[in-house]
């Protein structure tokens, strides 16, 4: 495809994405406003309980005005959107710090977990899927499939608890909770990094194991389909070794549908893993956003959810561009 | 029998038993095939006639499916002389393609196995390989080099993600490791020109989807002929192409065959193509050869009722018929073959002997053989 054609396509996609984003934000905002939990109500109730304080209604009135929630949903949304364009995301109600600060504080540990586990997934699941496909219906295939299925079926909380029981309680290799150890403050920079890495071993393992199955099954199915294709027979008829048939001719074709999955995992890198983070006491973004949402922290939740929407749309765009990279057939139209 | 089961019905228990037995058989074959080194005497033999490039002797290729054993190729014998074209005809599913895949050892394993017979490939210098026992590491040097195959689906036979030039380069570089990269590319361009494509440099940089079906088939032919094979197996090379291109492709194939002095085994169910191209014709039915001979033998004097039926069922210019002839009935179930002549149930020319065992090949002339009871009287039995 010509370069300016590609540029035109990307610009068009970005413009469409902006429209989609607007409506996504509108829906999220309306939903947040309709939540049964209201942060303002909670605060007002607490304040009114104090001796000699104003009544609940008076507090409500004052706080609603203070938090700019005295307007209706459309007006509120437009105000939020205006601030957004000025780069003002406001302060988080629950965490009482600027939204961006809280987000930056928590997102990196989640990103590290997600990224490491994604790399591990790809490194483990794709080769396993290929092996299972090339040895279809053999003992190897069945073993891999059973393990993958077990991985898919295990609930996170169960598997995480099991890991904790074995490796923390019985073997004592890892701490039960937290991102840092007891004597973290006394360590030098490298020691601090190692300490964090040590604490991330179990959560990353859990994340990897539970998601390996899906990717592996996908690779296997795609590979099987490709291995039955006519051009694979042609490759064999050329006299190529089985290795170059599978890893050169079949692999490139297997990767085409895999790109969709990998592109779709972009938002997953930043969204955090709520259950795993909670179980292992890791102060990540999944944990923070969950608590923001249940306490009705509108600025933080809005920022988090909008950011996820942006990432999802970006992921889709990247997938489409990558498609053109791996599949020459997509490049013309 | 308490309840009458429909034909071909298998209970889960029976099916399990069959697949267990199949696995036992195929594992045995696979174990034999997967050995790291095979002694030469197991696959090196001599040709019966040095004038042949390929001799197929009593070939049996079976598929061990969960519904039972399918005897796709059930005792096929014929030879391909050097520099000649042998046409193999027969209806769909009669084992033509499986025979050719057996020659390449590309039958879908582990279900598909060549269980018996010999395929002798002339390697020159009085040496021959028995393909049936040739280990895979030797086969890789034979495929694409001594024997190459052109498939019937040009649209899907090329890998969509690699450039045309790279796909031809690959086979040349593989079998000529001493050639430099530039030489390989030069040869590739030469091959593309040889199959009649102008703008060879440009086409080499294209992807398969940018070419038409006929162009792709030309590329497949270029890949097949790139290493000057002794034998070209063309498995219905023109079936997927439109009629105007068919003739071009066939002409091209014949021309190139003479240029590099190889033989062609042409598989088709188009009798016109056979008449045009073939020196010898092999007619197959239900996994067996029913008649073989020179093209003149088969077209001037078809002897097997099936061949006669085939001839009658092709439209003839200038002959007016209400309805085109078709052979009545259907092919017997491949899992459960009868123990008499496979064609008997559809045959309109049965004689008394037909109720007996499957008829042996009888010799009608030096080149013409047929397996039919009708010709037992006026032919001497083939000496084995």
Query: In this predicted structure, what is the pLDDT of residue B382?
Result: 45
Mutation site, A234, A241, A243, A249, interface B, largest B CB count within 10 A? A234
Residue B207: list chain A partners with CB under 8 A: 328-329
Q: What is the pTM of this model?
A: 0.80
Residue A226: list chain B partners with CB under 8 A: none
DSSP reduced 3-state for B130: strand
Contact B295, B280 (CB under 8 A): yes
Interchain proximity A240–B161, CB inside 8 Å: no
Q: What is the dihedral of CA A296, A299, A303, A309, to 10 degrees?
A: 50
Task: Specify if A85 maps to a domain.
Answer: no
CA distance A67 to B370: 98
Count structural domains, chain A: 1
Contact B144, B175 (CB under 8 A): yes
Task: Specify if A251 maps to a domain.
Answer: yes
Q: Tell me the residue range of the domain where A276 lies.
A: 99-326
Q: How far is A128 from chain B (nearest CA, A)?
A: 21
Check residue B209 and report its DSSP letter.
Answer: G
Instruction: Report the chain B residue with the minimal C-alpha distance to residue A330.
Output: B209
Residue B209: list chain A partners with CB under 8 A: 328-329, 332
Please report which confidence band the pLDDT of residue B3 belongs to, taking 50, 70 and 90 as the band edges: low
More confident residue, B320 or A120: A120
Q: What is the pLDDT of residues B283-295, one digit of tens each?
A: 999 889 999 999 9
Contact B159, A234 (CB under 8 A): yes
Interchain proximity B148–A237, CB inside 8 Å: yes
Report the CATH number at residue A116. 1.10.3720.10
B194, two tokens: 């040889």
Residue A238: list chain B partners with CB under 8 A: 143-144, 148, 170-171, 174, 223
Task: Specify if A88 maps to a domain.
Answer: no
Query: In this predicted structure, what is the pLDDT of residue B7?
Result: 64
More confident residue, A266 or B82: B82
B155, two tokens: 């649209």
Interchain proximity A234–B160, CB inside 8 Å: no
CA distance B282 to B99: 12
Interchain proximity B175–A328, CB inside 8 Å: no
The pair phi, psi for residue B65, each rounded to 5°, is -95, 170
Q: What is the pLDDT of residues B216-248, one digit of tens each?
A: 988 999 999 888 899 999 988 888 778 888 888
Check residue A166 and report its DSSP letter.
Answer: I
Question: Is B175 in the A-facing interface, judged by CB distances under 8 Å?
Answer: yes
- Provide the residue-wise pLDDT of chain A in tens; the chain has 333 residues: 456 777 888 888 889 999 999 999 999 988 888 887 778 788 878 877 777 777 777 777 877 777 777 777 888 888 888 888 887 777 888 888 888 888 888 888 888 888 999 999 999 999 999 999 988 888 889 999 998 888 888 888 898 888 889 998 898 888 888 887 777 777 788 888 888 888 888 989 998 988 888 889 999 999 999 998 999 999 999 989 888 999 999 998 888 888 888 888 888 888 878 888 888 888 888 888 888 888 888 888 888 888 889 989 988 888 888 887 778 877 655
Please report which confidence band the pLDDT of residue B202 belongs to, taking 50, 70 and 90 as the band edges: very high
C-alpha R_g of chain A: 25
Interchain proximity B161–A239, CB inside 8 Å: no
Question: Is B151 in the A-facing interface, judged by CB distances under 8 Å?
Answer: yes
Please report which confidence band the pLDDT of residue B320 belongs to, taking 50, 70 and 90 as the band edges: confident
CA distance A60 to A71: 14
Question: Is B149 in the A-facing interface, judged by CB distances under 8 Å?
Answer: yes
Question: Is A230 in the B-facing interface, judged by CB distances under 8 Å?
Answer: yes
Please report which confidence band the pLDDT of residue B43 belongs to, taking 50, 70 and 90 as the band edges: confident
Query: In this predicted structure, what is the pLDDT of residue A295?
Result: 83
DSSP reduced 3-state for B117: strand
Question: Is A238 in the B-facing interface, judged by CB distances under 8 Å?
Answer: yes
Query: In this predicted structure, what is the pLDDT of residue A43?
Result: 80
Check residue B360 and report its DSSP letter.
Answer: P
CA distance B232 to B235: 9
Q: How far is CA A235 from the centre of its chain?
A: 39
Contact B107, B46 (CB under 8 A): no
* Angle of helix A99-134 versus helix A189-227 axis, rounded to 10: 40
Neighbours of A55 (CB within 10 A): 11
Interchain proximity B207–A328, CB inside 8 Å: yes
Q: How far is B150 from chain A (nearest CA, A)?
A: 8
Q: In what order do the strands lie in the sheet with B288-294?
A: B147-150, B231-235, B263-267, B85-89, B280-285, B288-294, B369-370, B362-363, B380-381
B201, two tokens: 């440099």
CA distance B245 to B252: 11
Interchain proximity A237–B151, CB inside 8 Å: yes
Q: How far is A147 from chain B (nearest CA, A)?
A: 24
Question: Is A233 in the B-facing interface, judged by CB distances under 8 Å?
Answer: yes
What are the DSSP E strand ranges found in chain B? 44-45, 52-65, 68-81, 85-89, 112-124, 127-130, 147-150, 231-235, 263-267, 280-285, 288-294, 362-363, 369-370, 380-381
Task: Specify if A264 maps to a domain.
Answer: yes
Check residue B120 and report its DSSP letter.
Answer: E
Please report which confidence band the pLDDT of residue B384 belongs to, taking 50, 70 and 90 as the band edges: very low
CA distance B276 to A207: 65
Interchain proximity A231–B104, CB inside 8 Å: no
Handedness of CA A121, A122, A127, A130 (dihedral sign): positive
Task: Specify if A110 maps to a domain.
Answer: yes
Please report which confidence band the pLDDT of residue B8 belongs to, taking 50, 70 and 90 as the band edges: low
Instruction: Report the chain A residue with the minimal C-alpha distance to residue B142.
Output: A239
Check residue A317 and report its DSSP letter.
Answer: H
Query: In this predicted structure, what is the pLDDT of residue B67?
Result: 83
Task: Specify if A131 maps to a domain.
Answer: yes
More confident residue, B203 or B330: B203
> What are the C-alpha distances in Å from A219 to residues A89, A126, A152, A236, A263?
41, 6, 15, 21, 15
Residue A231: list chain B partners with CB under 8 A: 156-160
Task: Name which of A234, A240, A252 is nearest B158 (Cβ-Cβ).
Answer: A234
Helix ranges (DSSP H) in B57-113: 96-104
Interface A:B, Cβ pairs < 8 A? 72
Interchain proximity B106–A236, CB inside 8 Å: yes
Please report which confidence band the pLDDT of residue B159 belongs to, taking 50, 70 and 90 as the band edges: very high
Task: Specify if A32 maps to a domain.
Answer: no
Interchain proximity B157–A231, CB inside 8 Å: yes
Task: Name which of B136, B141, B159 is nearest A249 (Cβ-Cβ).
Answer: B159
Q: How far is B141 from chain A (nearest CA, A)?
A: 6
Strands B362-363 and B369-370: antiparallel
Helix ranges (DSSP H) in A135-166: 139-153, 156-163
Mutation site, A1, A135, A238, A328, interface B, largest B CB count within 10 A? A238
B/e letters for B249-267, b = 16+ CB within 10 Å, e = fewer, are bbebbeebbeeeebbbbbb
């Amino acid at each position: 495809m010509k370069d300016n054609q590609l540029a035109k396509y990307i610009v068009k996609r970005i413009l469409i994405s902006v429209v989609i984003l607007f409506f996504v934000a509108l829906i999220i905002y309306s939903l947040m406003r309709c939540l049964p939990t209201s942060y303002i109500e909670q605060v007002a109730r607490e304040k009114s309980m104090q001796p000699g304080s104003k009544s609940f209604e008076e507090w409500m009135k004052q706080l609603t005005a203070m938090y700019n929630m005295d307007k209706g949903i459309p007006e509120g949304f437009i105000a939020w959107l205006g601030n957004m364009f000025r780069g003002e995301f406001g302060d988080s109600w629950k965490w009482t710090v600027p939204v961006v600060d809280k987000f930056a504080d928590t997102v990196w540990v989640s990103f590290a977990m997600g990224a490491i586990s994604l790399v591990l997934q790809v490194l483990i699941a794709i080769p396993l899927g290929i092996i299972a496909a090339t040895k279809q219906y053999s003992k190897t295939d069945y073993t891999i499939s059973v393990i993958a299925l077990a991985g898919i079926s295990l609930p996170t909380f169960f598997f995480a608890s099991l890991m904790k029981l074995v490796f923390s309680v019985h073997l004592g290799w890892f701490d039960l909770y937290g991102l840092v150890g007891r004597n973290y403050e006394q360590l030098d920079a490298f020691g601090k990094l190692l300490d964090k890495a040590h604490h991330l071993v179990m959560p990353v393992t859990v994340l990897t194991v539970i998601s390996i199955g899906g990717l592996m099954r996908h690779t296997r199915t795609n590979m099987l389909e490709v291995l039955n294709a006519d051009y694979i027979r042609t490759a064999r008829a050329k006299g190529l070794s089985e290795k170059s048939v599978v890893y050169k001719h079949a692999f490139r074709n297997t990767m085409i549908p895999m790109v969709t999955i990998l592109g779709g995992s972009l938002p997953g890198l930043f969204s955090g893993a709520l259950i795993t983070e909670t179980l292992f006491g890791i102060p990540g973004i999944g944990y923070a956003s969950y608590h923001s949402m249940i306490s009705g922290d509108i600025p933080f939740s809005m920022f988090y959810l909008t950011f996820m929407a942006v990432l999802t749309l970006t992921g889709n765009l990247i997938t489409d561009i990558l498609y053109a990279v791996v599949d020459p057939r997509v490049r013309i139209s | 029998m308490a309840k009458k089961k429909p034909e071909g019905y298998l209970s889960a228990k029976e099916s399990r038993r069959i697949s267990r037995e199949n696995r036992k058989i195929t594992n045995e074959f696979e174990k034999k095939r997967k050995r790291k080194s095979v002694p030469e005497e197991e696959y090196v033999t001599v040709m019966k006639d040095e004038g042949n490039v390929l001799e197929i002797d009593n070939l049996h290729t079976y598929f061990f499916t969960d519904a039972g054993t399918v005897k796709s190729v059930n005792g096929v014998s014929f030879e391909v002389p050097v520099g000649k074209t042998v046409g193999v005809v027969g209806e769909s599913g009669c084992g033509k393609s499986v025979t050719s895949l057996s020659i390449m050892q590309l039958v879908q394993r582990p279900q598909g196995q060549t269980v018996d017979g010999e395929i002798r490939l002339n390697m020159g210098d009085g040496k021959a390989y028995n393909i049936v026992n040739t280990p895979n590491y030797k086969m890789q040097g034979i495929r694409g080099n001594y024997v190459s195959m052109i498939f019937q689906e040009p649209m899907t036979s090329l890998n969509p993600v690699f450039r045309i030039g790279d796909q031809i380069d690959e086979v040349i570089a593989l079998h000529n490791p001493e050639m430099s990269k530039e030489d390989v590319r030069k040869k590739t361009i030469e091959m593309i020109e040889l199959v009649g494509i102008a703008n060879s440099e440009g086409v080499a940089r294209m992807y398969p989807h940018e070419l038409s079906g006929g162009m792709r088939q030309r590329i497949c032919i270029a890949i097949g002929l790139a290493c000057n094979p002794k034998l070209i197996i063309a498995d219905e090379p023109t079936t997927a192409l439109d009629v105007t291109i068919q003739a071009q492709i066939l002409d091209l194939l014949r021309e190139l065959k003479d240029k590099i002095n190889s033989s062609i085994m042409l598989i088709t169910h188009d009798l016109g193509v056979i008449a045009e191209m073939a020196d010898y014709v092999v007619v197959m039915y239900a996994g067996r050869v029913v008649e073989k001979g020179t093209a003149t033998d088969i077209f001037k004097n078809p002897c097997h009722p099936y061949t006669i039926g085939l001839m009658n069922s092709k439209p003839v210019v200038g002959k007016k018929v209400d309805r085109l002839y078709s052979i009545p009935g259907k092919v017997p179930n491949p899992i459960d073959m009868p123990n008499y002549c496979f064609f008997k149930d559809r045959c309109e020319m049965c004689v008394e002997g037909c109720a007996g065992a499957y008829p042996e090949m009888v010799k009608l002339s030096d080149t013409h053989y047929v397996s039919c009871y009708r010709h037992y009287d006026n032919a001497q039995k083939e000496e084995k």
